[in-house]
A and B are shown apart, each in its own frame.
Chain A
Amino acid sequence: MLLQLSEPGESPAPHESERGLAIGIDLGTTNSVVALARDGTVEVLRDAEGKGLVPSVVYYGGDGAVTVGQDARRMLLEEPDHVVSSIKRLMGRGVEDLKTLAGTLPFKLDVAADGGMVRLSVGERILTPVEVSADILRALRARAEAAQGKTVDRAVITVPAYFDDGARTATKDAARLAGLEVLRLVNEPTAAALAYGLDNAAEGFYAVYDLGGGTFDISILRMEKGVFQVKATGGDAALGGDDIDHAIAEHFLAERSATHGEVAITAGEAKQALAAARVAKECLSSRPEGEWVIEVDGKPSRHALTRVQLEDLAAPWVERTTAICRGVIADSGVDLADIKGVVLVGGSTRMPVVRRKVREIFGREPLSNINPDEVVAVGAALQAEALTVGSDTLLLDVTPLSLGIETMGGIVEKVIPRNTPIPVAMAQEFTTYQDGQTAMSVHVLQGEREMVDQCRSLARFVLRGIPNMAAGAARIRVTFTVDADGLLTVAASEATTGVEQQVAVKPSYGLTEDEMATMLRDSLEHAKDDMASRLFAETVVEARRSVLAVQAALKVDSDLLSPAERQDIDGAIGQVDTAIATGDRDTVIAATEALEAATKVFAERRMDRGIRAALAGMAVDRLDDALGGE
């Protein structure tokens, strides 16, 4: 029997109107986009020229000014030392990781960095990737606030599906610094599928192929009656148009040395060559050939390039997507012939060679009635509306990478395999390998390979207090929990004693709480006020829930109270409302606790009545909200 309840999600949460707006943000490596949905209609927020794309470039001026977007990009050639681009490549990365990325990064790194998180040296400042991303998010937030004339304080932010836990946490931290509550991190291909699927009433299996500036993602989804179910996902968090730019730039620089003789390439030349390479690449998407000039220190060099040549240079990168796609198709268990369409996302899918490759991989023409630059932000905005106002659609996503722990011999034991639907909790039992071992170190890893050094280290912690037993006798249960944002929490406990330890995986290369606090304090805006008001808002949500719960109970069981008792409770409810009006968090907490105390006897009588009714075997129906799914 279904009872009439106000179903969560069906009606707007009460007091929703008091909150600021919730936006959707595609925080890209190269470009970012911000959008807002109202009643299912999405508006991409544009500049005066109508451009929705905001280059993910930040200029840190000598006077302390911070500029984001097109204006910052213009400064790239004038004051390269004060400009940061492609920062997303460093999100959640440690100094160690940079070796593999070396040479591909347009930054000067702070050499003093102490083995932890990467720090950049920009002009006179030392900045973390989280702070740079926060500056981009602040600019996007400001754009939305200016357009709407309203406060914006919540957002759905998209991340590459293949982002690991460290990069996801770093993204959330950046949002917090920018004064945005992250309603949900949504995977970019999933957001794109949501936007495409809702717009086209798509049904069946679809692939989303997303090749941007710095990341590649491929997801296979099933869309059906408002359900978006990711079957498998994969990608490469360091593969994109940037790599092609580098290949072209190297080609140009080799030509230039041939003209001007073999001299060491200056940083200025390298930046110029990269800029020219990118322009050439983008032009050759619509033209068969062209010529570009690099001029540094009054020394020009001319570089002709044809599309055929470009495609040769790009081939190794484009080819890399093939194997990844095949693997993901196999993982999904979906027959290639059953995939009804391929949605193209990301600026690099404008390259004819990429489109040809997609056609070859999937055996069909990709869909082209989609704006590959904006579709992710549109999906994010739709999801932001769904999460705040309510919706019937359902996004069911998966973990992109396997999660495991280190065992003897440096081998990784998988606890959660990739492509497992989230949220998920899985446990594995381990044991001690020495007699009398009382502590065990737990090393959490992410990745598909077998050996520890081939996977990404997420965190380490030590479980202490294991009872003194023979080797192999202790039973240590390690539980991995991945939430709907794709973030991991690990708990370990010993079965015979119940010794327990829980760690939110703050990745090895993330910010500590202290660093976060300092940054929040230092940030120029009123981030601190934002934090306080967010905490207050949470407390109010909780207080209102308590009041509504008591009122609902009074409606059905008020006959259990004497008029005096009833008056007490009504008074306590009034106190909560008064407390909320004061705007003081502690007052609200106190009033909520007082309400709890005032209703204690009422609650006991209600339980008595319920149990008596159950014993009489009559009222279980009333209590039993139906178990039927739909």
Chain B
Amino acid sequence: MNASALAAVVPCWSCKGPVASRALFCSVCGAVQGPGAIDHFTRLGMTPTFDLDMDALERQYFGFQRRLHPDRFASKSGKEKALSQAQATSLNDAYETLKDPMKRAAYLLTLLGHPVDLTACGTINDRALLMEQMEKREALADATTPEQVAKLAVEAESEVIACQCHISAAFNAADLDGAGHLCIRLKYLAKLAEEARAKKSRITRMP
């Protein structure tokens, strides 16, 4: 308790007085503080969960950027400019990670001490996944009419959404192994959906 209380107070770089280590601005002199090492959820003022309210996340992100973006510090001292850049960089990192379901799931798994390697594809389980993906990819390559491609794009999209629901369920059931596997599955599904979308916009012409 005492140790954490101690860690919670650091000297403000500007007025040298005590400031909460997680504070954005010094409550005494108003100077912007460094971003500190906090997790992405805390940084954006969100509760760590897979089921994030996306509108709330975006509101928080814009709200923090409004206060911390380098554009707010253009006529401040060099040190304040540098700190605001560091803050805005951390906010971008946090937001880009949390807004993407796959990255969010992987990040949450890391936070929970159960990291997943998204580059892995060696297990039997994954081989089945690869087979399934190969078939779907072939179907997409063979599709020639806009209708066929559109249909595949819709299918891919709904599989992505279904997978996200399963991930959510896995997290809620504290099944971190399951969430990890689904996370890898989501990676492939999302890639396929993106390719389908790209092909769709390539072959669909506006009237």
Contact = CB atoms under 8 A, between A and B. Distances in A.
B25 interface: yes
Given A421-B96, A425-B89, A629-B44, A607 B16 contact: yes
Contacts, number: 197
Contacts of B9: 607, 610-611, 614, 620, 623
Q: How large is the interface on B (under 10, 10 to 19, 20 to 34, 35 or more residues)?
A: 35 or more
B119 interface: no
B93 A623 contact: no
A484 B71 contact: yes
Interface stretch (B140-148, B165-173, B174-182, B198-206): B198-206
Given A8-B72, A603-B16, A611-B18, A421 B206 contact: no
A549 B76 contact: no
A102 interface: no
B37 to A, nearest CB: 14
Interface residues of A, number: 72
Interface in A354-406: 360-363, 383, 386-388, 390, 392, 394-396
Nearest to A604: B16
Contacts of A388: 74-75
A609 B18 CA distance: 8
B14 interface: yes
Contacts of B70: 423, 483-484
B18 A610 contact: yes
A548 interface: yes
Interface string A288-331: 00000000000000000000000000000000000000100110
A521 interface: no
Contact of B30 (A6, A227, A556, A623): A6
Interface in B87-121: 88-89, 92-93, 95-96
B201 A424 contact: no
Nearest to B63: A629
B17 A606 contact: yes
Interface in A182-221: 183-184
A64 interface: no
A9 interface: yes
Contacts of A390: 72
A599 B16 contact: yes
A163 B76 CA distance: 27
B21 to A, nearest CB: 9
Interface in B116-150: none
Contact of B89 (A361, A481, A553, A615): A481
A630 interface: yes
B188 interface: no
Contacts of A7: 25, 67
Contact of A5 (B17, B25, B92, B207): B25
Interface of A: 3, 5-9, 13, 16, 19, 183-184, 227, 326, 329-330, 336, 360-363, 383, 386-388, 390, 392, 394-396, 420-425, 481, 483-484, 538, 541-542, 545-546, 548-550, 552-553, 555-557, 599, 602-603, 606-607, 609-611, 613-615, 617, 620, 622-625, 627-630
8 contacts: A5-B27, A184-B71, A420-B92, A541-B76, A552-B29, A555-B28, A629-B44, A630-B63
Interface of B: 1-2, 5-6, 8-9, 11-12, 14-20, 22-32, 42, 44-45, 59-67, 69-80, 84-85, 88-89, 92-93, 95-96, 197-198, 201-202, 206-207
